Amino acid sequence: MRNDYDFTEGKRGAVVPASGKSRITIMLDDDVLAFFREQAEAQGIGYQTLINAELRKAMQPPKSSPLTVASLRKVLKEELAALRTITA
């Protein structure tokens, strides 16, 4: 069968590296990998893409809790009390 192929004039194609990505080897627990594969299949995306997205989320600074009326009142009360002790 090898005689059927003639690669004497063949040239290797250019290997295009993925920009901004690195190929690594990582060991994940089987249950973690199964979880991401199931989630990715349900969302119609690749499991590596999903893992990458989750890692990106972990890189983001934590969001502060939203300002509520109760927390605003508490801060104002503390600040007014501090102001009264300074001016007294």
CB distance 40 to 50 below 8 Å: yes
| Cα separation, 71 vs 13, whole angstroms | 63
Select the more confidently predicted residue: 9 or 69.
69
Full-model pTM? 0.54
Can you give the pLDDT at residue 49?
96
Structural domain boundaries in the chain: 27-61
What is the per-residue pLDDT across 11-54, written as a single tens digit (0 to 9) for each?
Answer: 877 777 778 888 899 999 999 999 999 999 999 999 999 999 99
Confidence of residue 72 (pLDDT cuts 50, 70, 90): very high
Mean pLDDT of the chain: 88
Instruction: Give the chain's largest Cα–Cα span.
Output: 102
Confidence of residue 4 (pLDDT cuts 50, 70, 90): confident
| Cα separation, 14 vs 19, whole angstroms | 15
